Amino acid sequence: MSQTKDKEMIQSGVTSTQQEKRIFYTVIGLTAFETILVTLALVPPQLWTRLLPGSSSAALDGPFPVALAPVIPVLLYVVPTLIGFLCRSWQKALLFATIPAWIGLGLFVIAAATKVGAFYLVSPSQVTSNVSVLELFAALGGIGWLARHLFKLNF
Amino acid sequence: MNPNIPKRPKRQVNGAIDGENTLPLAAARAPSSTGVIDNHETGENEAGEAIEDQETARVEAIEQQQSELPTHLPVEAPPSRITIPRGKALIGIFLLAIVVFSALNAGYAQFIGSQGWALVLGGSSNANNSNPLDKVKQQLHHSPTPGVSATTTPITPAQYIDAIIQNMTLDQKLGQMMIVQFYGSSYLPDISTMINQYNVGAVLLFTANNNIINKTQLTGLISQMQHDSTHNGIPLGIAIDQEGGYVDRLVNLDGPRPSATSLGATNNPSKAQAEGVLDASNLTSYGFNLNLAPVVDVNTVYNPQLYGRTFGNNPDIVTRMAEAYLQGLQKSGKVFGTLKHFPGLGDVATDPHIGVADVYRSKSQLESIDWSPYRAMIQQGNVHSIMVTHDILHAIDASAPATLSYRVVTGILRDELGFQGVIITDSLTMEGITALYSESQAAAQAVEAGDDLLMGASTPQILASMIQGIKQAISSGAISMQRIDASVRRILTMKYELGLLTLPNN
């Protein structure tokens, strides 16, 4: 009987570890997915129309079909919230939720500095917009993390 | 210690302390067959009771210890977690939602707006990032020998327009064939996208769409649209339907204008001409270059939709007054008028916004009444554009609304009446049309019928759908590239005549 109990106890410990791993991998996957979505926003519409000459919506929706296109902006905001929701600590929630924005912003700064010029990047409107992107993602991650406490989640 | 009392094996107790099994403890308490109880029964009462008390105390202590033992195997303690009460979490979410809301405007614009990342990196020009006017200039501007200043080949307007068309992509051509609307008083992403990404040919502003608020806003909005459009290549036609009377879009800016019916009642063409001049002056001051007026329907039945909008019920009066108004309007050469609503709404009571009207007049009746003003004014050569509406002419083509009928648009208006200017459709997203056709079907069929400028798109999505419909018709062979080029040529010719396109300088 004692051996059975020991087994159960050992198994519960293993399950908890596996669950944590699964959640971690999910967070990483979601962060990667969000990074792709944000990076796609950097691609000029001209490139999409050149790659998809038969599509009249390529300039507007990029590579996404018309039916799917409305979902993409929604995902841009839902995914960081979900990332925050899955993170146990608020530090991780903010970090993973804002990584896509940092990457997107970094790529934009490099590309824009080359193409448009560095002075453009320090123009007040650009600074405001770019800071707002980070602020937006951080706030969404924070909302997700706080939502854990609404549901009293412990995973 | 009484030697008669048999010693309880220590191992048994230790086993209990170790918590290996609870049975020995139960057995120790049971008043039956254990050695301890047996001793108690043999009469050595006092000493035995004392020992038993000690044993009981020990057992209780063991039980107490056992109850305090951990129920699980010792595992690594979980990291400390912050726990926030639900109420505080809710308040936090609310506060962050405010931050999200405030950041959305600026942050979201980076993904889609006219100043978004992609547009900053790719420029605001359309599909192939090419300005057809610049290309034409480069082709015409050449320097035969090094050191000699470059010269520009002399070119006629027709050659210039043909050269522009040759340098336009299909997307640019189809964009030119669209006259779009939008909701809002400022240069919002929808209209920005339609101008920058689809290179639309014209924009129609409405008071009902909140496009017209005050003089400063209106001038600024038109200026911004025209700036972007010119940057991409071909300037926009900026349209309004300023008829006067009940359809007076600028009443809050310039005061009320007389209705066509009241002008017609005077039977004084000079008054109509003066109104045309005044309208042109007002429209030009804001940046409009296309007025969807005058109405030349010959009103013979009561139609609430046309109340006060026609010059009368006599074709001659309508012709005379409309001619005069048009001359006044187009005198400056900066604003063109549009005759409407071909093939005529004078004999119908149905509002084309909500249904397709049926016209049962014979062809001879149509020619003598409804088409009389068109014929007369087209022959004078002063008409640059005509709007076709959605009524069904049973005498000509009962299978389709006039807008989508080849027999009406090309057969009657182009071939019989000889109109060579721009044919504009009434809105293809009116219920009369959308009840029968999808946006893409209507757009394709309108081009097949012979229309040049297609009205109805109010969002980039609808615009994309209409363009897709035309592209599919081109792919299937229903519409030829020559047909597209012919429409674009007429539109560009009108823009050239308006002064929006100028020949490259020598």
Give the Cα separation of B465 and A57 in Å (integer): 8
Whether residue B489 is predicted with pLDDT greater than 50 in this model: the reply is yes
Whether residue B35 is predicted with pLDDT greater than 60 in this model: the reply is no
Whether residue B468 is predicted with pLDDT greater than 60 in this model: the reply is yes
| Residues of chain A contacting B171 with CB distance shorter than 8 Å | 49, 56, 59
Q: Are A58 and A52 in contact (CB under 8 A)?
A: yes
For chain B, give the mean pLDDT: 82
pLDDT of residue B404: 96
Say yes or no for a CB contact (<8 Å) between A9 and B99: no
Q: Which residue, among B89, B66, B77, B50, has the nearest Cα to B17 in the 3D structure? A: B66
pLDDT of residue B40: 44
CB atoms under 10 Å from CB of B233, counted, come to 23
- pLDDT, mean of residues B85-107: 83
- Mean pLDDT is lowest, of A50-64, A84-98, B437-451, B470-484, for A50-64
Retrieve residue B206's tokens: 């409405």
Quick one: pLDDT band at residue B144, thresholds 50, 70, 90?
low
- Mean pLDDT is lowest, of B35-39, B103-107, B185-189, B427-431, for B35-39
**Interface ipTM > 0.85:** no
Q: Which of A49, A149, A152, A153 to mutate to test the interface with B (most CBs of B within 10 A)?
A: A149
Quick one: pLDDT band at residue B10, thresholds 50, 70, 90?
very low
Whether residue B343 is predicted with pLDDT greater than 80 in this model: the reply is yes
Does B505 contact chain A (CB < 8 Å)?
A: no
Per-residue CA distances from B259 to B123, B160, B246, B373, B426 (Å): 45, 40, 7, 18, 21
pLDDT tens digits, A34-48 = 999 888 888 877 777
- Mean pLDDT is lowest, of A28-37, A48-57, B129-138, B300-309, for A48-57
Q: Please tell me which of the candidates A41, A59, A152 has its beta carbon nearest to residue B116.
A: A41
Higher pLDDT, B440 or B122: B440
* Residue of chain A whose alpha carbon sits nearest to that of B128: A46
Whether residue B75 is predicted with pLDDT greater than 60 in this model: the reply is no
Bridge partners (DSSP) of residue A37 are none
Strand boundaries in B164-303, DSSP class E: 178-180, 202-204, 237-240, 290-291
- pLDDT, mean of residues B389-413: 95
* Residue of chain B whose alpha carbon sits nearest to that of A109: B117
Higher pLDDT, B247 or B42: B247
Whether residue B39 is predicted with pLDDT greater than 60 in this model: the reply is no
Q: Which of B69, B71, B104, B121 to mutate to test the interface with A (most CBs of A within 10 A)?
A: B121
Whether residue B29 is predicted with pLDDT greater than 70 in this model: the reply is no
Whether residue B8 is predicted with pLDDT greater than 90 in this model: the reply is no
Retrieve residue B47's tokens: 């000493």
Phi/psi for B141 (5° steps) reads: -90, 110
Counting DSSP H helices and E strands in chain B, the numbers are 22, 12
pLDDT of residue B12: 40
pLDDT of residue B262: 92
pLDDT of residue B403: 96
Whether residue B284 is predicted with pLDDT greater than 80 in this model: the reply is yes
Q: Please tell me which of the candidates B109, B111, B460 has its beta carbon nearest to residue A76.
A: B111
Interface of A with B in 91-110 (CB under 8 A): 104, 108
pLDDT of residue A150: 84
Does A155 contact chain B (CB < 8 Å)?
A: no
| Burial state string for B203-216 with b = 16 or more CB within 10 A and e = fewer than 16 | bbbbbeeebbeeee
Whether residue B129 is predicted with pLDDT greater than 60 in this model: the reply is no
Quick one: pLDDT band at residue B19, thresholds 50, 70, 90?
very low
Q: Which of A60, A105, A115, A131 to mutate to test the interface with B (most CBs of B within 10 A)?
A: A60
Q: Please tell me which of the candidates A9, A41, A54 has its beta carbon nearest to residue B117.
A: A41
- pLDDT, mean of residues B255-265: 91
Quick one: pLDDT band at residue B133, thresholds 50, 70, 90?
confident
pLDDT of residue B142: 64
Retrieve residue B505's tokens: 């300088």
Say yes or no for a CB contact (<8 Å) between A9 and B72: yes
Give the Cα separation of A26 and A28 in Å (integer): 5
Ranges of H-type helices in B72-169: 86-112, 117-122, 132-140, 157-166
Per-residue CA distances from B440 to B356, B454, B475 (Å): 18, 11, 14
Whether residue B38 is predicted with pLDDT greater than 50 in this model: the reply is no
pLDDT of residue B362: 93
- The CA distance from B196 to the nearest CA of chain A, in Å, is 10
Whether residue B329 is predicted with pLDDT greater than 80 in this model: the reply is yes
Whether residue A120 is predicted with pLDDT greater than 50 in this model: the reply is yes
| Residues of chain B contacting A60 with CB distance shorter than 8 Å | 193, 197, 460-461, 464
Ranges of H-type helices in A41-89: 45-51, 58-61, 71-86
Whether residue B186 is predicted with pLDDT greater than 70 in this model: the reply is yes
Angle (CA) A49 A52 A54, round 5°: 100
Give the Cα separation of B372 and B377 in Å (integer): 9
Q: Are B204 and B255 in contact (CB under 8 A)?
A: no
Kindly give, in sequence order, each residue whose CB lies less than 8 Å from that of residue B53, ignoring residues fewer than 6 positions away: none
Kindly give, in sequence order, each residue whose CB lies less than 8 Å from that of residue A70, ignoring residues fewer than 6 positions away: none
Quick one: pLDDT band at residue A124, thresholds 50, 70, 90?
confident
Interface of B with A in 295-334 (CB under 8 A): none
Angle (CA) B293 B296 B301, round 5°: 125
Higher pLDDT, B447 or A15: B447
CB atoms under 10 Å from CB of B77, counted, come to 6
Higher pLDDT, B11 or B213: B213
pLDDT tens digits, B207-249 = 999 999 999 999 999 999 999 888 878 999 999 999 988 899 9
List, edge to edge, every strand of the sheet that includes B385-388: B422-425, B385-388, B336-342, B290-291, B237-240, B202-204, B178-180, B454-455
| Residues of chain B contacting A146 with CB distance shorter than 8 Å | 84, 89-90, 92-93, 96
pLDDT of residue B200: 95
- pLDDT, mean of residues B15-34: 38
pLDDT of residue B112: 61
Give the Cα separation of B260 and B308 in Å (integer): 6
- Mean pLDDT is lowest, of A146-150, B94-98, B109-113, B345-349, for B109-113
pLDDT of residue B175: 94
Say yes or no for a CB contact (<8 Å) between A46 and B122: yes
Q: Please tell me which of the candidates B121, B198, B468 has its beta carbon nearest to residue A44.
A: B121
Retrieve residue B448's tokens: 């097949």
Give the Cα separation of A23 and A86 in Å (integer): 7
Say yes or no for a CB contact (<8 Å) between A73 and B111: yes
Q: Are B360 and B346 in contact (CB under 8 A)?
A: no
pLDDT of residue B285: 96
- pLDDT, mean of residues B285-305: 90
Say yes or no for a CB contact (<8 Å) between B93 and A146: yes
Kindly give, in sequence order, each residue whose CB lies less than 8 Å from that of residue B164, ignoring residues fewer than 6 positions away: B132, B133, B136, B234, B492, B501
Whether residue B271 is predicted with pLDDT greater than 50 in this model: the reply is yes
Interface of B with A in 461-500 (CB under 8 A): 461, 464-465, 467-468, 471
Quick one: pLDDT band at residue B74, thresholds 50, 70, 90?
very low
| CA B260 from centroid of its chain's CA atoms | 33
Interface of B with A in 67-126 (CB under 8 A): 72-73, 75, 79, 81-86, 88-90, 92-93, 96-97, 99-100, 103-112, 115-123, 125-126
Whether residue B6 is predicted with pLDDT greater than 60 in this model: the reply is no
Whether residue B416 is predicted with pLDDT greater than 90 in this model: the reply is yes
Kindly give, in sequence order, each residue whose CB lies less than 8 Å from that of residue A75, ignoring residues fewer than 6 positions away: A34, A37
| CA B186 from centroid of its chain's CA atoms | 14
Kindly give, in sequence order, each residue whose CB lies less than 8 Å from that of residue B355, ignoring residues fewer than 6 positions away: B431, B432, B435
Angle (CA) B383 B387 B388, round 5°: 130
- pLDDT, mean of residues A99-118: 82
- The CA distance from A1 to the nearest CA of chain B, in Å, is 9
Q: Which of A14, A47, A51, A56 to mutate to test the interface with B (most CBs of B within 10 A)?
A: A56
